[in-house]
Structure 1
C-alpha cells in the first residue's frame, strides 16, 4: 500500500500540535494536508517552571502540608476528646470541673501542677489537667529511615556521661584511659560534654597566653569543622603543621593524650591546634536537632527531673522562656507519665493499672505504624500478566505480577554492573578503532567496582593496563556496588575500632575517613583482610559472600542477603536510639557486638527501585556476564524488545480501537501523566474523526527528552545565554548602529569575542579582523566541519573567518584545509587553538572539531539525537504502538532543517502581521544589511499556539529517508562508505539544487506538497485552538470502611483543588483616588469626594451660589479657567482646574500582594 495516513505529533510540556496528512510514496503529487490542530494543556506556572528546571513537582505541596497540619490537629483533638471521655467515665473528671487556667496569677498553673504531680499529691481534677497537657506534646520518636545529616545523630551514652560527671573527667581524658587499658572502641559523647571540654581547655590554656585566647577568636571557632578550625588558628598560633608518625592506633592515642594533658598543663600551639580540631570535629558529628534532644535527655537524668519539672524550673527563673521548640524523646515523656501515675495512684484508688494501660497505650501515646506503600511499587516488565476486571459496570484491564526489586539489593547491584560492562568499549585515540571488552577484563573491573564502588575512566584504563593517552572509553565512570561499598566501609570501621592495624599497602592515614574507595590495594586483598579480621572478632564471615545464582530458597537464606535485607527493611523501635532490637538481631544472627552493630545501623539504603523483579534478574543473570542485555533476556526466555517486531509481526498483531487513559498516579511524575493522557485523548479523537493512522511520527520537546538533572543544567545555561544575548544586543545597537540585531548578528559578535585571546585574529589566516567591517560581507560564519558532510549547526561548529578563506576552504574540515595550506600554517593553527582552549576561550567540543580530519568524521549525529532514553519518550512510544503499527521518533534539529528547506520559516509572523498592524503593534526596522523590514514588536512565535501545528506538519512529512540522509551526510562523497549508494539514491529522490539570489547554488529537500507554504497558511488559518477545560469540581471516589470483619464501600464526591484563594480573609474598605477636571458633573455627591477640604468647601459655595445646578456653576462663562474660584480674601490663591477625588470601596484583601 503506497498511500499512508500519517499523524504527526509535536509533544510539548503544555501543548500538543498535530497534523494529519496523506502521503503517497510512489506519487508525491497525491500528498496532501488533511487537518491541523493544537491541544493546549494548561499547567500552573509552578508546574511548568519546576518541570523545566528539573525540580520536584509540588503543584499542591502547600495544600498537602496544610491538610497534614489539619489532620494532626484533628487527631490531637480526637485524643483529647477520648481522654476526657475516659476520665469522666472513671469518675476522675466531673462535668463541672474547669480544664482551663482561670483567675489571677494562673498563667503557669498547669505547668506547676505537672511539676508537682511527680512528687506530691494533687486533686483528681488537677491530675486530669496534667494528663491533657502531656497529651499536647508526646516527644520525638526515632526512625532509622528518615535519616538527615543536618539533624546530627542520636547519642545514647548515659552511662558514659554519668562516669564523666562522677569522676570529673573530660571526654578526652576518659577516651585516653580506655585506650591505655587496651580498649579499642570509644563511646559517643553528648554535645554538652564535648563543649564543656572545649571550654575547660580554652580557659586553662588562656592563663598562659591571654592576649591570643581572645573572646573574638573563641567565637570564630564555634561550629567550625576540622579544616576550618586549623584555618582560624593558623595565624594566631603561627602554625606550620606537624606530621604524626607511627601506626594508626598510635597516632590516635597520641591525639587523645594531648586532649587529656590540655586541661592539666600548657601545650605547644601545634598540639593545641590538633586538640581543638578534634573536639570541633566531634562537636560537628553530634550537633543538630537530634544532638540537642540527646543533651536535654541527659540533663533530665542528672538533675533527676521529669520533663514537667525541667520546664517549670525554667519558667520560675524566667517567665518569658520559650518552651515551644524544646523537644524531648518520647521515652522521656513515657518516663514522666509513669512517675506521675505511680505517685498519684498512692493517693487516688481510681488510678488503676488497667486504666493506666488504656490512657497510656490506647489514647495518649498510641501511634499507628505507617501504612505500607508497596502498592505504589512498579510491576516487573517481564513477570506480569493482564486480567480483566469489572468496576462500576465498566470492564478494565489490570496488570498483576511481581514487584520490582530495590536498587540497593545485592542482586540488582551486581546485575547493573554487568549490564554496564557489556556496553563498555575501548577506542584507540590515534586510529579511532573501537574494541569491545573481553570477559577477563570485565571480570577484573567487576571485582574492583563490586567492592570499592565507582571507578573513573582513567582508573578503568589503569586497571587493565591501557594508557590514558592512547586509549579512551565510552563511559566517564563505571557505577559500582554502593551496597557493598557501604557495608565494607562499616566493616573497616569495626576493624579500626578494635585497634587492629591496617596493612601498609592500604596507605591510610589517621586523618582519612575510613572508606574502601580510598584504599590503594586490590579488592581481593581487601576482601581477604576483612574476612580474616571479622572471623577473629567472632563475626559470621559468610556475610561477605553473595552468590546471585543460588536456586530456590537458598538464595534468600544466604547470610549476605539477609544482612542487607535486615538493614534495608528495619524501621525502628521504641527505644531512645530506635535501634535496640536491631542491635539484638545483628548479634543473634551474625555475631556483631552492640558497638559493632551501632556502626552498621548508620547505613541507610535509599528507597529506590529498579525495573525488574528478583525472579527476572535471577533468570537473566547466568547470561548477562557474556552477552548484552537484550541477548541475555532472549536466552532467559524474555522478549526484551517488545516494540522491535518484524514487519510481518507488526502487521499481524491486533491493534486497539481506542487507547486507554493512564490510571491516576500510575506514573511518578504528575506533569508527565497529564501530558501523556492529553496525547492519548487527542490520538483517540483524531482516529475517530479521520481514521486510524498508518504511522505516527512524534517529536518530543527537548525538556521531555532530558532527565531532571539535565533539565536543571539546560535551564540554567539558557538563562545565562539569554542574559548574555540581551547584553550583546545592546552593544550592537549602541556601538555598531544595528537597530534590530538578529540572532545571527549576535552569534557573529560572540565568535568575534572568542578571538580576543588571539588578538582578534581569525584562526585560518591569522589576520586581525577589522571591527568596523565585522558586519560586512568581508567576513563569514564558517562551519568547521562542513554541513554538507555532517549535520551540525551548533555554536561549537562555527568560527568567524574572512570570506575569501571560507570560499577557499570549501568542503574541507578546518584541519584538512590548513594541512593543504602548509605544514607551518597547520602547526601554528594547532598551537593557537590549544592556547585558546587552555585559556577557556573555546569549549572542548570546538577544540576537538577544529582538530578533526575529514577521514575522522563519523556518522550517527542524528541517531544520537533520536535516542529516546528517558522514560516519557519510551512510554509515549509504547502507548502509541497500541493503535498503530509504526511509531517513528524525530528530533527538533531535523524539524528545524526541514522547516527551513520547505520555506515554512516566519509563517506564523506573516499570519499575524496584519492583525498586529491594525492594533498599532508593528514597527519598521533596519537590519544589519541596511534593509527596511516591518516586524511585530516583541514578537515570538510562542505568542501563537498554532506554531505547534506548523511544527507537527513538518514532523508528519518527515520520512525515514530524511533522517537517514542527515545521519549519513558524510557518506555522500565517500565511495568507500557502506552507506554511500543508499545515501546517493536518497539524495537523488528527495533533494534538489536551487539557485539563490546571489547566484550561489544550494541543495535542499524537496517540498512534500506543491505550494506547501500557501497550503500550510490556509490550514493554519482554519485552526481553532482546543484548550483543556479546568472546571472539574469533584471526583467520584469509592471510600472503603472496615467494620466488624467486613469492608463497606461507599461512593463519595471528593472536592478537587482549592475552594478559594488561601490569602482571602474577608471584605475591607480600600481608599481609591482619581484626578478629575472640574466640570458640569460636579454635583454635591461628587464634590463631597474632593480630598482637599479647602477645595471642597470652595466648590460647595460656588454650587450653592447657582442654586445647586452644576452646569451653571462650572460650565460656560463660569468655567474655572474663565471664572476662577479664589481661596483667600486677597484673591491671590485660586482653585486648580483639576482636583483629586477620594472615596472608599469595599472589597477583598489579598495578604500576599497587599492589594484588593
Structure 2
C-alpha cells in the first residue's frame, strides 16, 4: 500500500512548476518540451514550457524535472551482461539434467535387453569391474551379457567431444581440443579408444598399487626389510590387498582423463576423445558380442546407439530484419526478408559496390570529385579479384598522381577490403582458381552449404562428391572461416539494388549509382519517413519498432518474446525506463510538443566500440603524459591548452624538423610553439560550423591567424595574397596541408563551405545524430510526438552549454575522491569546446541538469551561438533563455528527490556457487579441524591464496605445501608459480608422486548463513551452500517497543510454504508474541528519516544483518561510495550512515517509494 505524502524540503514532483498546475491537464493546449538525458543506468529529464513565436517554439519557463536510476543489467566488475552468467549456469544445469535423463534411459534400455540386471544391488555389484578392461576384452573374447552392458554404460559416461563447425571456429578452446584429438588418433592407431585407455589405466593401476603396498609396509613397520625378506612380505601384502591378479609393469603412470593444462589464458590437452572414436568403438563392441547373445539385436542396437550418441541440433541464431524490405513472417517462411550474412557472395558484392561508388578523389586545396562509372568499375573489378587493394595500387590503377588522396583513406586505413568470401575459398589448398570461375548460383549454393551444415564429416563428404575435391582440399574448405556478421539488408533488397548499382548512373550522369540512389530507384524509402501515426502512450518498444527486433509473434508469450527485444541489456532496460517516465508525464501533463534527447557514449557504443574507445583513451593518456613531461622541461604547465598545442604540433609532421606553419611555411620549434608567436586556429570558422573540436584546429603563426580571420583557408589565401608584407602561396599551403590528418585535409578545399553544407551543415550536425540508437529513439518517441519535432543532441554540445551557463556550480564542487580522477581523464581525452568548473559526477542530479540543457538546445539557440562567437578571444557569449533560468534550476534541484527503481522480485541467485561438505571433529591429537573450519571444499592447487594454504584440511599435506611455498618464496617465485610446481609428477613427495591437482580447504561459516542440501531419502544434510545476499530484512517492533530485524535469505524467500508477500515466514513472527512488522526493506529501497535536524531520504545500500544495521546514503549520492567514505573529510564530506534497527526508530524512519516523476510515497507495511 502506498500513500503520497509531503515531507519538509521535499517536492511532490510538481510544486516547482512555473505555471499554475491546474492549467496543465492531459489534453490541454499547454505547450512543453521534454529534455531527456539517457545513460546506461540513469535517465535525467526536465520539462520547459514553451511559447509560440512565429513558426517556432521558444522555452520561457522551467517545468518539473527529475532523475531515474536503474540497474544496467551488467556485472559491475566485468561489464558483461548478467544474462551471460545466467545463461552459462542454465546451460550447465541443462547439460547435467540431460545427462542424468540419458543415463536413466540407457539403464532402462540395457535392462530391457538383458544387458544389465533388473535388481539394483546386482547392478551396483558390477561397479567394481574395470570398465576399460571390459571394453578391451569385448573386442576379442566373449563377455557375459551384463558385462557387455557395463562396458556400454561406460561409453555413455564420457561420450567424447562432438565437433560442430558453426561454433568451433569461434572458440579457441575447441581448436586445442581438435589438436589433442588428432594426437590421440595418431597415438592409438588402429586400436579402439577402449583398448588404448585400458592399457593406460592398467599402467596407472600398477603405480597406484605400488604406492598402496609401500604405505602398508610402513604401517606394519616392515619398510626397512631388504632382499628376500622384503620380497616375501611384499608378495604377502600384495595378495592380501589385491588378490592374485597380476598387472603389467610400466615405467611411468598415465591418467585416462582429458585434463586441460592452462598457460596464461590458453588451454591445451595431451589428448581428447571424440564422439566418432566412441561411436567406432560401440560398433566394434556390438560386432564382437552380437554373435554370442540373442538379445543383442538390430532393434536393441538402434535404440541404445540413439540414447548414447544423440545430439540435439543447435538453435538457429536470431537474425535481424532487413532495414529496407523487412520480413513480415518467420525466417523459415521468408528468409530473404532477414539480414543477409556477409559471407553470401551477393552481400560481398553489395559492400564492394557501395564503397566503390562512394569513393572520391581529393586534391587538397582544390576540392574533391567522385569517380566516373568507368573508374569505379575498375575499382570494383580489382576488389572482386583480391582479398584487399591498397590505395597506392588504386592510384596506379586509375593513373592518379602520387599526392592524390581518397576520401576513405586514412592513417588507420591503407586499403579497401576485397571479396573476403572469394579470397578465403580460392585458397590454393581449397578450391584454388576454380572458385572464381564458378557461376554465381554455384558459389551461392556452396556458401549456403558451408553456413548451414553442422557436421564436418558430412560436409567433407558432400564437397568430395559434389565439388570433386580430394579429401585434403575438402577438409580445408570445410574448416575455412567465412566472414562473420550480417549486412543490414536482406537478399530480397540486395537482389533489387545490386543490378542498379552495377549498371546505373548517378543523377549527374557520370558517376555510378550509389546505394541511396539505387535504393530509391528500386522503390525503397531509405529515409524511412514517419507515417504520422501516433498513440496516446508509449507502448513496449518492440511493439512499435517491429522492424528492428525479431519476436515469436505468439500472443501467448510475454511481450519481450512475442515482439522481440534488443540483445543489449542496457539498451533494453533503458528504453523500458524511458517508456515509464514518458508515460507518467503524459498521464499527468499530456503529450510533449517537442522532445530533445541526448545519449551517453556508453549507451550508444557496441562492445567492440567501447573496447576500442578505451584503448584510444589509454593511448591519449599515454601521449598526454609524455607531453606533460616535455612541457615540464620548459617550465610550462600541462593545462588543456598547452596539451592541445603539443598534440596539434605533432600532427604537422612525424619529424619535429619538418613541423611548419601550414599557412606561412615557417618552421615551428617547441620553444616557438610555447611562445606567443604561435596560435591555435579554427580551420573553418566556428561561427560557421560550431566545431571547436581538435579536428577543426591547427597551430599557425599568430599573424597568419589574424590575416585569416573568419574565413576558410581557401577564402583567405586561395589567391596567394600579400597581406601586411607577408606573401602567401596557395600551392605551397595546399601541399603542406596534404600531410595533415584526413579529417582536416578537406577543410582546405576551395569548396569547403559547400562540402560542410553537404555533410549537413552545423544545424543538422548538432541536432541530428545519425547513429542507430538515435534513429530508433526518434522513431520510438514518434509514437507520442511528431517525429519532426524530436531531435538528438550530441554530448559535446550539452557539456559546453552547461559550463557556459555556470550550471556545474549548482551542485557541490568539492574535489570528490573518485570523481576528480574521472574529470581529469575526461579533460585529457575530450573534444568538447570549453569548461567552466568540473562537472560533479558524484551527485545523481547532474543527469537532470543535462536533461534541462538538452531541452534548451534547439535551432534558435544554435543560431544565437553562431552569431555570438568572439573569434578573437575564442569564446561564446550565450545568454540563458530567460533571466532567472539558473536560479529556477537551483531551486528545483534543492527540492528534487532522485527516483531509484526498486527490485523486490524473489528471482535471483539462490546461493553462492561453491558446495561445501560438513566436517566432523577429529578425535586424534593435534589441530582440531573444527578450529579451522566447520566446512570443507575442493579447490585447484594453483588458485590458492596464502590464507587458504594454511587451511588445507590434511595436516601433513598442509605442512608440505606450506614449506614448499616458503622455500620458493625465498627464491623470488610467485605463490601461483610455486603451487603450480606441485602439479608435476615427482618422487620428492611420495604422498602425491603423480602430482597434486586439488586440495580440500577448511572454511568457517555460521549455520544461519548456510543453505543445507539433504538426502531426499534419509533427510540428512550432506552438503551446504553459502546463502549469499539476503532477499530482504523484516524490521519489527517487539511488545516492549524495541525495534529488531531478521534477514530473509533469497533461498528461503523462494520456498513455497508461507504467505502471499514472501514465500517464507521468518522466525520472529512466532518467537516474539505481540511483535508487529514495521517495514520490509530490500537492498536499494529508500527510507525517510529525521537526522541532523532535517528530513533525509536515503538509499539502503547494504543489508548488514550480521551487525543488525543498514548502510545508508542520501538518494542523490553516487560514485565509489566506499572510497569517498574513506577520504579525508576536507576533500569529500560524504560519510555512510550506519543505522541499527533501534537507531532507525529514534530517527522516526519510514520506508518510502519515489516514483518515476520524483513524487514521494510512504510504503505501508503489510
Identify the TM-score tier after normalising by the shorter chain: 0.5 to 0.7
Report the counterpart of residue 404 of structure 2 in structure 1.
470
The structure 2 residue matched to 1:322, chosen from 237, 255, 262, is 255
Report the counterpart of residue 485 of structure 1 in structure 2.
423
Distance in 2 (alpha carbons) for counterparts of 1:131 and 1:715: 54
> Deviation of residue 891 (structure 1)?
1.6
> Deviation of residue 728 (structure 1)?
7.5
Contact 1:42/1:1027 (<8 A) preserved: no
Indicate yes or no: 2:46 matched with 1:19: yes
The structure 2 residue matched to 1:339, chosen from 261, 281, 284, is 284
Indicate yes or no: 2:65 matched with 1:42: no
Report the counterpart of residue 587 of structure 2 in structure 1.
688
Report the counterpart of residue 409 of structure 1 in structure 2.
344
Report the counterpart of residue 152 of structure 2 in structure 1.
131
- Equivalent positions of 1:660-675 (< 5 A) are 660-662=540-542, 663=560, 666-675=565-574
> Deviation of residue 908 (structure 1)?
3.8
Contact 2:336/2:492 (<8 A) preserved: no
Distance in 2 (alpha carbons) for counterparts of 1:991 and 1:828: 29
Distance in 2 (alpha carbons) for counterparts of 1:691 and 1:845: 45
Indicate yes or no: 2:60 matched with 1:31: yes
Report the counterpart of residue 1062 of structure 1 in structure 2.
913
Distance in 1 (alpha carbons) for counterparts of 2:869 and 2:381: 58
> Deviation of residue 595 (structure 1)?
5.7
For residues 916-945 of structure 1, the C-alpha deviation after alignment (integer angstroms, 9 at most, x for no partner) is 99xxx9xxxxxxxxxxxxxxxx97521112
For residues 495-553 of structure 1, the C-alpha deviation after alignment (integer angstroms, 9 at most, x for no partner) is 8xxxxxxxxxxxxxxxxxx7x7xxxxxxxxx99xx65xxxxxxxxxxxx223xxxxxxx
Which structure shows the bigger proportion of residues in helix conformation? Answer: 1
For residues 765-788 of structure 1, the C-alpha deviation after alignment (integer angstroms, 9 at most, x for no partner) is 97999989979x998765565534
Compared CA separation, residues 597 and 992, structure 1 to 2 (3 A): closer
> Deviation of residue 484 (structure 1)?
3.1
Contact 2:67/2:845 (<8 A) preserved: yes
> Deviation of residue 822 (structure 1)?
8.2
Report the counterpart of residue 96 of structure 2 in structure 1.
73
Report the counterpart of residue 359 of structure 1 in structure 2.
304
> Deviation of residue 136 (structure 1)?
0.9
For residues 272-319 of structure 1, the C-alpha deviation after alignment (integer angstroms, 9 at most, x for no partner) is xxxxxxxxxxxxxxx953243233224433457744445435535368
Contact 1:404/1:612 (<8 A) preserved: yes
> Deviation of residue 876 (structure 1)?
1.5
The structure 2 residue matched to 1:455, chosen from 389, 397, 409, is 389
The structure 1 residue matched to 2:525, chosen from 612, 619, 639, is 639
> Deviation of residue 114 (structure 1)?
2.8
Distance in 1 (alpha carbons) for counterparts of 2:682 and 2:794: 21
Instruction: Specify the SS of the correspondent of 1:616.
Output: helix
Compared CA separation, residues 823 and 674, structure 1 to 2 (3 A): farther
Report the counterpart of residue 801 of structure 2 in structure 1.
898
- Equivalent positions of 1:911-1060 (< 5 A) are 911-912=811-812, 940-963=839-862, 965=863, 991=867, 1004-1033=877-906, 1055=907, 1057-1060=908-911
Indicate yes or no: 2:312 matched with 1:368: yes
Distance in 2 (alpha carbons) for counterparts of 1:1004 and 1:77: 73
Compared CA separation, residues 452 and 829, structure 1 to 2 (3 A): closer
Contact 2:686/2:869 (<8 A) preserved: no
Provide the aligned C-alpha RMSD in A: 5.2
For residues 225-270 of structure 1, the C-alpha deviation after alignment (integer angstroms, 9 at most, x for no partner) is xxxxxxxxxxxxxxxxxxxxxxxxxxxxxxxxxxxxxxxxxxxxxx
The structure 1 residue matched to 2:439, chosen from 527, 538, 545, is 545
Compared CA separation, residues 45 and 721, structure 1 to 2 (3 A): farther
The structure 1 residue matched to 2:325, chosen from 382, 396, 404, is 382
> Deviation of residue 737 (structure 1)?
10
Instruction: Specify the SS of the correspondent of 1:419.
Output: helix
Number of aligned residue pairs: give it. Answer: 787
> Deviation of residue 324 (structure 1)?
1.4
Report the counterpart of residue 380 of structure 2 in structure 1.
446
Indicate yes or no: 2:139 matched with 1:118: yes
> Deviation of residue 1144 (structure 1)?
11
Report the counterpart of residue 294 of structure 1 in structure 2.
182
Q: Greater shift after overlay, 20-29 or 426-435?
A: 20-29
The structure 2 residue matched to 1:93, chosen from 114, 117, 133, is 117
Indicate yes or no: 2:777 matched with 1:876: yes
Compared CA separation, residues 715 and 78, structure 1 to 2 (3 A): same
Report the counterpart of residue 1118 of structure 1 in structure 2.
none
Indicate yes or no: 2:486 matched with 1:609: yes
Q: Greater shift after overlay, 632-641 or 763-772?
A: 763-772
Contact 1:116/1:309 (<8 A) preserved: no
Compared CA separation, residues 752 and 115, structure 1 to 2 (3 A): same
> Deviation of residue 119 (structure 1)?
1.9
Distance in 1 (alpha carbons) for counterparts of 2:1005 and 2:176: 52
Report the counterpart of residue 500 of structure 2 in structure 1.
623
Distance in 1 (alpha carbons) for counterparts of 2:73 and 2:658: 49
Contact 1:707/1:870 (<8 A) preserved: no
> Deviation of residue 568 (structure 1)?
2.6
Contact 1:453/1:480 (<8 A) preserved: yes
Distance in 2 (alpha carbons) for counterparts of 1:682 and 1:734: 54
Contact 2:602/2:610 (<8 A) preserved: yes
> Deviation of residue 579 (structure 1)?
3.3
Contact 1:20/1:956 (<8 A) preserved: yes
Compared CA separation, residues 1002 and 640, structure 1 to 2 (3 A): closer
Indicate yes or no: 2:567 matched with 1:678: no
For residues 855-899 of structure 1, the C-alpha deviation after alignment (integer angstroms, 9 at most, x for no partner) is 899454745576644332222122122221122122223323433
> Deviation of residue 797 (structure 1)?
5.1
Contact 1:781/1:798 (<8 A) preserved: yes
For structure 1, the 5+ residue unaligned runs are 51-56, 154-286, 388-397, 496-513, 517-525, 532-543, 547-557, 922-937, 966-985, 1034-1054, 1072-1142
Indicate yes or no: 2:351 matched with 1:427: no
Report the counterpart of residue 281 of structure 1 in structure 2.
none
Report the counterpart of residue 228 of structure 1 in structure 2.
none
Compared CA separation, residues 69 and 819, structure 1 to 2 (3 A): farther
Report the counterpart of residue 570 of structure 1 in structure 2.
453
For structure 2, the 5+ residue unaligned runs are 1-27, 207-249, 259-270, 505-512, 543-559, 821-836, 919-929, 934-1003, 1011-1024, 1029-1103, 1107-1166
Distance in 2 (alpha carbons) for counterparts of 1:1024 and 1:15: 14
Compared CA separation, residues 126 and 866, structure 1 to 2 (3 A): farther
Instruction: Specify the SS of the correspondent of 2:791.
Output: strand
Contact 2:321/2:327 (<8 A) preserved: no
Distance in 2 (alpha carbons) for counterparts of 1:376 and 1:953: 38
- Equivalent positions of 1:49-60 (< 5 A) are 50=79, 57-60=80-83
